[in-house]
Structure 1
């Protein structure tokens, strides 16, 4: 079964001759960047090799959360939480955002104590969050039979609809004058005096002063053709959705073996809380040293798999000329198969602990590729070796909720305006300046 149905966006027929900024990639990071730049009065072209939001931006859980984030991301996510409530009105199209809250299960006394410590990271933001147990927990999670001590609940967190949001933001950017170009892969970049001067697409050349690469799981391949070594690997995540279900919780919930959140249509999006698949590919060996520190945090959650993806990436061109067809023209959308064994275990655990889901009808399942950096923190940064080239990639499964603010920060860096948050932790140079690359759970 193919990926989820995404609101279609019909691309512009005409390629602009010149713009101020070209954004590569039509996911939530790219569309949000295009929206912010357009609102600043810049001429923008967004180029997407396939359709808007067709890859991970429509395949994620739809969570908009500041809870349990890497502390380095918290200031930017706080900015995103300020932006989300007004986004639908701003762009004139529905995103499905609701402040429904998110609960993380606390199964042991240690986990509950860890949550108490983690809550200190949010104290400066005066958000409604904290550890709940007993009747308070039951009020948020009625019908829960999981043997937990309680949980960490952030009422300020919410949900939105991934199949609506990136297309809605793209149309909002187009309303402000941006060119939205679908089925328009960017093959490469032209320079003048050592700085960006144009992009070459499969449909022709667009002159520009700056380029933002927001290519998700494709960013390493595109950057590598420019001689830029972006450490990035991919993880496969499997997701399901249900038909409308009466009597389920309003708040989202995470536990080790399952996670869920209510959808606007009354159904639920479901997934394993931890099980993800890592395909062994040539880059697994090229980048092994940089990812070793992360393995001590996440190895229990990763299922290594050697399969056809190795040969696909081994035979994929890593270098090409601007007058040659690029790999992006041969694969428009990454659409991995969902893992039905993971789905079956997820449903069994969910029904055992929330019996209301025994009535749920699974209507679709899909999978997506999450792009991951060694420290699980994104790059939102200028690339110093190529003036005029910027990157907003590597969101490591956290990109949907933080996307609107990431676009704002990226636009501010491109234009030289004061940034909404300190961008230091998102700098590209951290991969090569001796910084220890390791995820931070905040405990």
Structure 2
């Protein structure tokens, strides 16, 4: 019998993929989140030998800690074609998994408290029209009809009925099992310590379980990607911000989909509860990388100065902690083994805010029973779009990271794209916006949407 998984996942969950790793593999993927898992799956379907190594557990970090939204709404115009493909792939892969991952087409709604808030949706409405999405604007009366017993009178809303939701802690492990059945070797509790590079090209990966000979590596390590890449001379301006989440016990059905305003976000779950989060608030720990990349982040900070709060130092062993080593030897314990799963504590003030704001919207619910509370570290980029590229500095190295809170929904689309990049095929989408060199080639960064 398959063990019942908690949400979110952690290193206390049983190991499902114990290994050991093989001696050789065509491709090695570092990171067992949704990007790494789906890339491995698409490569294996093409009869390529793939080994995925994960320092902790599959999906135990942000891939099981996110809100579970699969949305086209509010996406960056350059991301949107990949997201549209990802939505199709989610439906396809859910069928192939043969498991109930809670996938449902229940829509995503952004709520506007004022006419000024409503006007902010105009930019995306133009993008939606270009891609023939079913996104539309609602007036105040139409918005009120979406929710049972809501007390807030909104100026209006933007809704995309075809957007979906799924249960992250079920979905990504199910995709990993599908990948394993397709031939992927997955090894949990196995940290990749370093690349083995000769004459500027990858020849292998050193893991805590030994060396894997390979010519191709994908780094899809989420919040840990920058630390791993910096050891090999590749600097990316990736930072991680902490976001707090709560899951209620079963509640009456006040809305079947996902919705958010500036104070609170909520999403109906498969078990009859709701996943709740603050409406856009996050915490940045100030560490070496935060100082190093401060100027790169200035445009984003100026555009949304109240969206991020700051703490003076990250806890020990976090990726950007002052005490985390920036260099280590392949035969020594690495920072990735010192913290198998990045499991930040939720903010007490954030939880109080979530409960207060949700209760204010739906007072008829009475006390809000929290079934679980957690936090996650979201790997962010200065322009709010990811890196999806090959690394020119090291032959055979590919990078897919910095999903900026968008990774779960777009995951299968990025996985398919990266699988084609690795094979040298046309990825089918314009990836210029997501190139690694945009931070060093002198081009001006263009901020993605804050929706």
TM-score normalised to structure 2 length: 0.94
Distance of aligned partners of 1:67 and 1:364 in 2 relative to their CA distance in 1, 3 Å threshold = same
Structure 1: runs of 5+ lacking an equivalent: none
Quote the residue 2:3 is aligned against: none
1:157 CA drift (Å): 0.9
Give the counterpart of 1:118 among 106, 124, 127.
124
Q: Is the 8 A contact 1:141 1:251 kept in 2?
A: no
Quote the residue 2:19 is aligned against: 13
Q: Is the 8 A contact 1:260 1:270 kept in 2?
A: yes
Q: What is the aligned-residue RMSD (CA, Å)?
A: 1.8
Residue correspondence of structure 1 range 234-383 to structure 2 within 5 A = 234-309=240-315, 313-383=321-391
Deviates more, 1:429-438 or 1:169-178: 429-438
CA deviations 1:364-421 (Å, max 9, x no partner) are: 1000101111111101110001010001100011111001101111111000112131
2: CA distance, partners of 1:428 / 1:305: 28
2: CA distance, partners of 1:208 / 1:421: 27
CA deviations 1:175-230 (Å, max 9, x no partner) are: 11110000110111112332111111000111112000000000000001111111
Quote the residue 2:103 is aligned against: 97
Quote the residue 2:440 is aligned against: 432
Query: 1:399 and 2:403 equivalent?
Result: no
Q: Secondary structure at the match of 1:140?
A: coil
CA deviations 1:333-353 (Å, max 9, x no partner) are: 111110111111121111112
Q: Is the 8 A contact 2:9 2:59 kept in 1?
A: no
Distance of aligned partners of 1:66 and 1:108 in 2 relative to their CA distance in 1, 3 Å threshold = same
2: CA distance, partners of 1:92 / 1:405: 20
Quote the residue 2:205 is aligned against: 199
Query: 1:4 and 2:12 equivalent?
Result: no
Higher helix share: 1
Quote the residue 1:43 is aligned against: 49
Distance of aligned partners of 1:374 and 1:10 in 2 relative to their CA distance in 1, 3 Å threshold = same
Q: Is the 8 A contact 1:49 1:332 kept in 2?
A: yes
1:131 CA drift (Å): 0.3
2: CA distance, partners of 1:117 / 1:207: 48
1:442 CA drift (Å): 8.2
Q: Secondary structure at the match of 1:132?
A: strand
Distance of aligned partners of 1:222 and 1:119 in 2 relative to their CA distance in 1, 3 Å threshold = same
1: CA distance, partners of 2:167 / 2:15: 16
Quote the residue 1:106 is aligned against: 112
Structure 2: runs of 5+ lacking an equivalent: 1-5
Aligned length: 442
Q: Secondary structure at the match of 2:444?
A: coil
Q: Is the 8 A contact 2:128 2:134 kept in 1?
A: no
1:8 CA drift (Å): 5.0
TM-score normalised to structure 1 length: 0.96
